[in-house]
Chains A and B, each alone.
Chain A
Amino acid sequence: MSRKSLDGKITRRKFLGSSAASGATLAAIGAGLPRVAFAADAVIKIGFLAPLTGPVAAWGKPGLDGCLIWADWVNAKGGVKIGGKSHKIEFVGYDNEYDAAKARTGATKLIKEDGVKFVMMLGGDTWPGVQKIAEREGMLFSTLLPSDLSPETKTLLAPCEVHPIYNVTGVEWLAENKKELKTAAICAQDDALGKPSVATYLAAFEAAGIEMVDKPEFFDPATTDFAPVMTKLLAKKPDILCLDTCYADYVHPLCEQAFQQGYKGQIISCTADFYQKIIEKTSKEFMEGFIFQFPDFDDPAMNSKGVNFVKPNEFYAEYAKRYGASEWGAVSWEYASIMDLWADAAARAGSADPGPVLEAMKAGGTGKHAFGDAKWWGKELFGIDNALVGDWPVVAIEDGKARIKAFKSIPAWWDKHSKLMIKHMTALGQMWNQR
């Protein structure tokens, strides 16, 4: 030991140096510690690869929050029983920032370093970065965006959200219940999420006999000023204003603009994430009757017989308690519902390995979707039957609260109007063989 270190003097530099070193060591030790002290062989890790920061985080972070509730509940009951042995579930998150390259890095980390058995993704722009890894590693992935599905990747499933096909149910309900609405105008961000959704709404409006007053208004995802977009949309006085599948960051300012420009007609949108905040920015009256597709899970209709989601009202209450009711969004329950399917399939397969779980999940061509029993479907639209499709709720805001108006069948609509859907998807280059 040098004399210098024995002289007992503590200089500012020494103090800062040793503090930094201790901090770094503690941090390194902390990072290396497991979050839950379960026996290593009884823990199954599930990957959560989605945007947790950035403009698309609203479709990632609330999902991870929901999964943590799911895991706490399942683990409190002893975990998932696979092959006669109980396994605790642990989620490993990775923020892909909605970037394909970061999604690739995240996928390799989750698979090769964390040893996950299943990876849940939002999909979209991030999926192409992961596709090759999924194919090479044979890992089971899920996406919320079935437009990611293709025959090349057999291990990618869309077991919860059949975006954007379920949007037809909202339009169908409007046509049945508000027959006076005859015209519509639509806008969407010009990206991989907006375009297939526009094609779906165009098909749904055509099927319902509702006329478009203008061509779809595609705006750049970098748009921050929505006044001109809204002015153009309202110029031809549509009965229905359709906000397509805009991100929450766009739905909110679009609604504000519609409110400020004096629009008093019907609004329909795929999502209305954090709608309480929209009401705060506009008014309860303005948002009355706003139609979208994602219910609050405290809705009494969620207790109806066909719904497979486990204890939806309690789930919503717990979510609201932990994160606040205004943080509830479209994806808060979706990843958790996928976990219900996965856990059921793993238990039946007697294994958590991707191959047997996939086989068990698709056995018999049907599955227990959150909103009711559904079938594996999608060959015509996605080239592979890897999307679980059944009923989907139509939700309206009434007196400041989201309420389910009906559960409507997507396959029933498809059986009647599939040609229209394929026509509009093809026109916008959104068929699987065009992508």
Chain B
Amino acid sequence: MWRIATRLRLLILFAALAVLPYLLSYSQQEIAVLLVINVLLVCSYRLLTLTGEWSLGHVVMMGVGAYASALLTKRLGVPVPVSMLAGGLAAAAVAAILSVPLFRMKGFYFLIGSFAAGEIIRLIWKRFTDPFGGPKGLKRIDAFPNIDFGFLEIDFYEPVNYYFLALIVVSASLYVLHRIERSRIGLTFHAIHWQDRLAESVGVDNFRYRTLAFVIASFFAGIAGGLYGHYVGAVNPTRFGVDQMVYVLVWAIVGGTATLHGPILGVVVLTVINEIVLRGLGLDTVRPLIYGAILILSVLYLPDGLESLGPRLRARLRRRGRDPAAAGGRAA
């Protein structure tokens, strides 16, 4: 019964996502594309946080994927879909190398170490104009190739088409991330987070599992980078700086990281508020102020993130059901 209800919910969700771009304006479709890519970025970040480690280099991993994919298409003529996958693999490989020094550290030290590692990568992009384009980065990156079925031509310059491409890639990635979390490996990640010494005492190799989480998270961040680079057509080191990382942290904190849908809620709600509502109200120049206020309020009043709203509401309704008089009295 539970499985049927879940499947039904997913069916409704995908139907809504399929209809969504047709209800949006052209520029809102553009925002939707970037939003879908950011969903993958923040969900992949959550996988790393399952082990209890918060990194400041995740956006740089996205950049590694974007740069690798862009260079493979520009320099070697690799087809874009293949280069996107290769971008993910490149980010995973870089993460595997970085994990050697980084996972000698834990907690706050890991956070700072990941920031330093990310900055080193960004400095490499800046320093070596060939092949990384220096501070200006790479531009005129090949777009995802159009598909021509004869009766139907799909032009991926159009945001609505790229939205569906990104949606397919991100949905598949989220499914994989979900399966990993529900697997024995995912349970081990949780165990390392909450009881790392105990896990170690029963034979869990913490270093290996932390590395695995970092590598998988970076792989999907790299895929997000590939999707981004081939859509926007340009990447530069500033785009993958600490400012962008702060956004990822805010999405994760505001949404919550206990469930897979927590960070998705965070990125969707904050992007809609920031990019559509506040811009629509003509509040362009005060958006950072309002964004900051939302962050402070959500940390104060929703410390477990937006994902805790549902369970809170359900608990409240249950209490109301048990004691309607008391609940009614409170509401009035």
Instruction: Please encode chain A, from 98 to 112, with 1 for each CB lying within 8 Å of some chain B CB and 0 for all others.
Output: 111100111011001
Q: A95-B279, A434-B129 are in contact. List 16 more A-B contacts (CB 8 A).
A: A9-B332, A13-B331, A53-B288, A61-B285, A95-B285, A100-B233, A100-B239, A104-B30, A106-B27, A108-B27, A108-B30, A125-B137, A128-B232, A132-B233, A194-B135, A429-B134
Q: Does A207 contact B (CB under 8 A)?
A: no
Hey, which chain A residues are within 8 Å of B119, CB to CB?
Answer: 220
30 interchain pairs, CB-CB under 8 A: A9-B332, A11-B331, A12-B331, A52-B284, A53-B284, A53-B288, A61-B285, A95-B285, A100-B232, A101-B34, A104-B232, A105-B27, A105-B30, A108-B30, A109-B25, A109-B27, A109-B30, A112-B27, A125-B236, A128-B140, A131-B139, A131-B234, A191-B136, A191-B238, A192-B135, A192-B236, A194-B135, A195-B134, A221-B241, A435-B139
Hey, which chain A residues are within 8 Å of B228, CB to CB?
Answer: 101
* Closest chain B CB from A196 CB (angstroms): 9
Nearest residue, chain A, Cβ from B130: A429
Hey, which chain B residues are within 8 Å of A327, CB to CB?
Answer: none
Instruction: Please encode chain A, from 80 to 119, with 1 for each CB lying within 8 Å of some chain B CB and 0 for all others.
Output: 0000000000000111001111001110110011000000
The verdict on A220 contacting B139 (CB below 8 Å), with A53-B287, A108-B26, A113-B25 known, is: no
Whether B233 pairs with A128 at a CB distance below 8 angstroms is yes
Q: Does A30 contact B (CB under 8 A)?
A: yes
Q: Does B178 contact A (CB under 8 A)?
A: no
Q: Does B280 contact A (CB under 8 A)?
A: yes
Q: Identify which of B27, B236, B241, B331 contacts A113 (C-beta below 8 A).
A: B27
Q: Does A305 contact B (CB under 8 A)?
A: no
Instruction: Please encode chain B, from 25 to 63, with 1 for each CB lying within 8 Å of some chain A CB and 0 for all others.
Output: 111001100100000000000000000000000000000
* Closest chain B CB from A137 CB (angstroms): 11
Hey, which chain A residues are within 8 Å of B139, CB to CB?
Answer: 128, 131, 435
Contact count A vs B, C-beta below 8 Å: 110
Hey, which chain B residues are within 8 Å of A52, CB to CB?
Answer: 284-285
Instruction: Please encode chain B, from 128 to 153, with 1 for each CB lying within 8 Å of some chain A CB and 0 for all others.
Output: 01100111110110010000000000
Q: Does B126 contact A (CB under 8 A)?
A: yes
Hey, which chain B residues are within 8 Å of A221, CB to CB?
Answer: 238, 241
* Closest chain B CB from A373 CB (angstroms): 32
Whether B135 pairs with A129 at a CB distance below 8 angstroms is no
Whether B140 pairs with A131 at a CB distance below 8 angstroms is yes
Rounded to whole angstroms, the CA-CA distance of A189 and B288 in the bound complex is: 24
* Closest chain B CB from A225 CB (angstroms): 15
The 8 nearest A-B residue pairs measured at CB: A128-B234, A109-B27, A128-B139, A191-B135, A105-B30, A192-B136, A95-B284, A429-B129
Rounded to whole angstroms, the CA-CA distance of A259 and B281 in the bound complex is: 44
Nearest residue, chain B, Cβ from A31: B280
Instruction: Please encode chain A, from 170 to 185, with 1 for each CB lying within 8 Å of some chain B CB and 0 for all others.
Output: 0000000000000000
Rounded to whole angstroms, the CA-CA distance of A358 and B119 in the bound complex is: 43
Q: Does B204 contact A (CB under 8 A)?
A: no
* Closest chain B CB from A128 CB (angstroms): 3
Q: Does A27 contact B (CB under 8 A)?
A: yes
Hey, which chain B residues are within 8 Å of A131, CB to CB?
Answer: 139-140, 233-234
Hey, which chain A residues are within 8 Å of B123, CB to CB?
Answer: 220
Nearest residue, chain A, Cβ from B138: A128
Rounded to whole angstroms, the CA-CA distance of A109 and B26 in the bound complex is: 7
Whether A53 pairs with B285 at a CB distance below 8 angstroms is yes
* Closest chain B CB from A26 CB (angstroms): 10
Whether B233 pairs with A129 at a CB distance below 8 angstroms is yes
From residue 258 to 302 of chain B, which have CB atoms closer than 8 A to chain A?
Answer: 275, 279-282, 284-285, 287-288
Rounded to whole angstroms, the CA-CA distance of A373 and B284 in the bound complex is: 36
Rounded to whole angstroms, the CA-CA distance of A53 and B284 in the bound complex is: 8
Nearest residue, chain A, Cβ from B30: A105
Hey, which chain B residues are within 8 Å of A416, CB to CB?
Answer: none
Nearest residue, chain B, Cβ from A125: B236
Whether B236 pairs with A100 at a CB distance below 8 angstroms is yes
Q: Does A190 contact B (CB under 8 A)?
A: yes
Q: Does B108 contact A (CB under 8 A)?
A: no
Q: Which of A9, A125, A136 has the most CB of B within 10 A?
A: A125
Q: Which of B26, B34, B134, B137 has the most CB of A within 10 A?
A: B134
Hey, which chain A residues are within 8 Å of B282, CB to CB?
Answer: 31
Hey, which chain B residues are within 8 Å of A132, CB to CB?
Answer: 143, 157, 233
Q: Does B117 contact A (CB under 8 A)?
A: no
Q: Does B242 contact A (CB under 8 A)?
A: yes
Whether B232 pairs with A101 at a CB distance below 8 angstroms is yes
Q: Identify which of B25, B26, B133, B284 contacts A94 (C-beta below 8 A).
A: B284
Q: Does A222 contact B (CB under 8 A)?
A: yes
* Closest chain A CB from B239 CB (angstroms): 7
Nearest residue, chain A, Cβ from B285: A52
Rounded to whole angstroms, the CA-CA distance of A13 and B234 in the bound complex is: 48
* Closest chain B CB from A188 CB (angstroms): 10
Rounded to whole angstroms, the CA-CA distance of A434 and B134 in the bound complex is: 11
* Closest chain B CB from A341 CB (angstroms): 26
Hey, which chain B residues are within 8 Å of A222, CB to CB?
Answer: 241-242
Rounded to whole angstroms, the CA-CA distance of A284 and B282 in the bound complex is: 40
Q: Which of B27, B140, B287 has the most CB of A within 10 A?
A: B27
Rounded to whole angstroms, the CA-CA distance of A105 and B28 in the bound complex is: 8
Rounded to whole angstroms, the CA-CA distance of A54 and B331 in the bound complex is: 43
Nearest residue, chain B, Cβ from A192: B136
Hey, which chain A residues are within 8 Å of B287, CB to CB?
Answer: 53, 95
Rounded to whole angstroms, the CA-CA distance of A190 and B126 in the bound complex is: 8
Nearest residue, chain B, Cβ from A57: B285
Whether A129 pairs with B280 at a CB distance below 8 angstroms is no
* Closest chain A CB from B4 CB (angstroms): 32
The verdict on A129 contacting B284 (CB below 8 Å), with A105-B31, A191-B135, A192-B136 known, is: no
Hey, which chain A residues are within 8 Å of B30, CB to CB?
Answer: 104-105, 108-109
Rounded to whole angstroms, the CA-CA distance of A108 and B25 in the bound complex is: 10
Nearest residue, chain B, Cβ from A133: B157
Hey, which chain B residues are within 8 Å of A105, CB to CB?
Answer: 27, 30-31, 34, 275
Hey, which chain B residues are within 8 Å of A9, CB to CB?
Answer: 332
* Closest chain A CB from B146 CB (angstroms): 13
Q: Which of A94, A112, A132 has the most CB of B within 10 A?
A: A132
